[in-house]
Structure 1
Amino acid sequence: MRIITGKYKGRHFDIPRSFKARPTTDFAKENIFNVINGYVDMEGAQALDLFAGTGSISLELLSRGCAPVVSVEMDRDHASFIRECMTKLDTKDNILIRGDVFRFIKSCKQQYDLIFADPPYALPTLATIPQLILSKGMLRPGGLLVFEHGKHNDFSDVPGFIEHRAYGSVNFSLFRATSGGALVSSAPAE
């Protein structure tokens, strides 16, 4: 696993073979971050990485200037691996929460500029996650939710949906909140 760009560009971390998590491919990660740049100024943005897995997205967010980055991961070994990666980078800008994402969402009072959610594709409640996050008001006005999912999911009817991107077998749906707290469904001007 490597960090693609930013202040930690090129840093590599070896993922233990025993891990069940599937990190987002470098190809998909590079492309979706190029899209995110069109929506969010990452420098100083407060970011949330749900279902953090190996920490690949959290590391990329930190490298690109997001601070703080909150990483939520339930698996003990994965959370420990994320902590080790952050220690190797000597960063204090990561807040690691080892716990259930759904409990975190239910109790969350914080708003974020950018939320990245990458649940296991086979999760039975996967289809409920975007609406759950958006209805909870976890996005700041103008904030962006990036939701990674399999090719069989379609979120275009969820309020706040702005676009879908596919890179190989990796799919992303993007959602946005507006300044009035209502959701918006338009892409940025190109």
Structure 2
Amino acid sequence: MSPPRGKIRIIGGQWRSRLLTFPERPDLRPTANRIRETVFNWLGQDLSDLTCLDLFAGSGALGFEAASRGAALVVMVDKDAKNIQALQENKEKLQAGQVELVMMDAFKFLNSDTRTFDVIFLDPPYRAELTDQIMPLLPPHLKQNGLVYTEANRDWVTDQQWRAFRSAKAGSVHYKLMEYVNHG
């Protein structure tokens, strides 16, 4: 049974089966359970001590899933005040102290924050088609051997700086786990 509209269920880790609520917005579509299950199988079920960045956090499905699976820090970035409010309510409900919320445009965040992460979740609104613009900004924010998860409604072709480590398609959703290939 799928959760009602405006709700999504965490599928693994310490908060397994807990419901998250989020505002119903035209561009807000949480990553489906089946896709999240695959992605976290790729990443490994235990993310202990890893740091994650959830750009375009939206519902927080990916970020809270990572936190549920033991991530030491999950930074969720979203510029929408209603999304941030819902993320804050979910953070409090779960007592997710390792989750940091940042209300800011993703580009401004990447240009102003100097931290590095083990995993970056990149799932911008499909109609905005921002993947090509964001990808070049990610390498300085990746730890050595860090990975980037992308999700889009088209098969985004990586340039030679990126290697698709894993990729799949579910319905019209194309998703990949990529690593940066350092040419320096």
TM-score by length of 2: 0.87
Alpha-carbon distance between aligned partners in 1 of 2:54 and 2:21, rounded to the nearest angstrom = 20
Cα distance change of structure 1 residues 109 and 3 upon mapping to structure 2, 3 Å threshold:
same
Contact 2:21-2:86 at 8 Å conserved across structures = no
- The percent of aligned pairs where both chains have the same amino acid is 31
User: Which residue identity does 1:29 align to in structure 2?
Assistant: R
User: Which residue identity does 1:133 align to in structure 2?
Assistant: L
Contact 1:51-1:117 at 8 Å conserved across structures = yes
1:161 maps to which residue?
163
1:118 maps to which residue?
123
Contact 1:140-1:177 at 8 Å conserved across structures = no
Q: Secondary structure at the match of 2:138?
A: helix
Offset, 1:168: 2.1
Aligned partner (choices 26, 34, 48) of residue 41 of structure 2: 34
Cα distance change of structure 1 residues 177 and 153 upon mapping to structure 2, 3 Å threshold:
closer
Offset, 1:132: 2.1
Contact 2:123-2:151 at 8 Å conserved across structures = yes
1:22 matches 2:29: yes
Contact 2:124-2:130 at 8 Å conserved across structures = no
Offset, 1:19: 6.1
CA-to-aligned-CA distance 1:102-124 (integer Å, 9 cap, x gap): 00111121111111111011114
Offset, 1:80: 0.5
Contact 1:165-1:173 at 8 Å conserved across structures = yes
Q: Which runs of 5+ in 2 are unaligned?
A: 1-7
Aligned partner (choices 61, 67, 71) of residue 72 of structure 2: 67
Offset, 1:13: 2.2
2:12 maps to which residue?
5
1:138 maps to which residue?
141
Offset, 1:29: 1.0
Offset, 1:37: 1.8
Alpha-carbon distance between aligned partners in 2 of 1:81 and 1:145, rounded to the nearest angstrom = 25
Alpha-carbon distance between aligned partners in 2 of 1:84 and 1:35, rounded to the nearest angstrom = 29
1:151 maps to which residue?
154
Contact 1:130-1:147 at 8 Å conserved across structures = no
TM-score by length of 1: 0.85
Q: Secondary structure at the match of 2:20?
A: coil
1:127 matches 2:132: yes
1:105 matches 2:110: yes
Alpha-carbon distance between aligned partners in 2 of 1:12 and 1:159, rounded to the nearest angstrom = 38
2:99 maps to which residue?
94
CA-to-aligned-CA distance 1:168-187 (integer Å, 9 cap, x gap): 22212222247xxx26xxxx
Alpha-carbon distance between aligned partners in 2 of 1:86 and 1:112, rounded to the nearest angstrom = 20
